[in-house]
Amino acid sequence: MDWIGQGPLTTAMARQRGASRVSIEQALADGRVVRVARGLLMPKALVNDIPARAAALGLVLPSGVIVCDRSASYLHGIDAYRGLDDIYRGVIDCVVPPGTARPRAGAVNGGVRAIPDDHITTIHGLRVTTAARTAVDLACGLGPFGALATVEQFLHRELVTKSELLRVLARFAGRRGVRQARTVIGIADPLVESTGESFCRMAIVGWDLPVPVAQHVVPRPNGGTYVLDNAYPHLLIAVEYDGEEFHGPDRDAHDQQRRAWLKSQGWLVIVVRKADLSGLARERWLRRLDEAITEREVEQRRRGALARR
């Protein structure tokens, strides 16, 4: 595998180093390299290295372009490629100013867009939309689930603030997707830690339920705490996303103990997994949540009425 080297490379460069199509596909299958875009490869060890990401894109980008949208997010260190089997597969999003020929070549997805100078920054030699501009572009252009997850990642990583996002959005009057972006930015919370938690929040809001509190802290008698992904503290209801990374079989006993204690304190915990984020499975837990909120609100009003007598 000497052809892989220590940095990003195009498939043409790989073949010049002696790689065959079979060996390239084998290296991808083995996970030794990843596909950044069509015809563009990178050693797996460099996947999270921002200078390497910029160097990879620089191998194929035409001069004068501005990297934008998902590719700009990639350079800011945020994954906005959810839903693809290989998150680095596809094309590189970039634009040129009006009156300039739209780039159309290989892995480049070129467009024409007027972007003010204060919405452009430089990342390792590439012109890229700023973090705030990138987040707002994606809040407008992605589907609602991906939009919220991306914006919350930008906020959680402290790359942007809500006030910065709103200032950028104020200059988007009349642009398609502004209404969605306004909703997404309004409900986005920098405390949200994972894409799954964001997806749960968007599902809840899409069901016309109140926006839950993110990362709600529940004190324990021994001085410790439990942190709930999405909660309605006044109703003692929580929605927990069990992602595969942090809630595998080795965590089952801990999760069960934790939730048993919460139940003993009156909490209802609705557990959501990846398979529950779409279709009828999503509808089932949302109906259960809707019913639980209604039941507990009714019970609270009843108790309040009794207390006033």
Q: DSSP class of residue 101?
A: P
Q: Which of 139, 133, 134, 64 is nearest to 95 (CA)?
A: 64
Tell me which H or E stretch contains 77.
none
Q: Each residue's pLDDT tens digit in the chain (309 positions)?
A: 588 988 999 999 999 999 999 999 999 999 999 888 888 999 999 988 999 999 999 998 988 899 999 999 999 999 887 644 444 457 899 999 998 888 877 788 888 999 999 999 999 999 999 999 999 999 999 999 999 999 999 999 999 999 999 999 999 888 899 999 999 999 999 999 999 999 999 999 999 999 999 999 999 888 889 999 999 999 999 999 997 655 456 567 778 888 999 999 999 999 999 999 999 999 999 999 999 999 999 998 888 777 777
Residue pair 293/237 in contact (Cβ under 8 Å)? The answer is yes
Q: What is the pTM of this model?
A: 0.88
Q: Domains of the chain by range and CATH?
A: 199-308 (3.40.960.10)
**pLDDT at residue 85 in the model:** 40
What is the rounded distance in angstroms from the CA atom of residue 209 to the CA atom of residue 211?
7
Residue pair 140/180 in contact (Cβ under 8 Å)? The answer is yes
How far does Cα 91 stand from its chain's mean position? Answer: 18
Strands 104-105 and 92-96: unpaired
Structural Rg of the chain based on CA atoms:
23
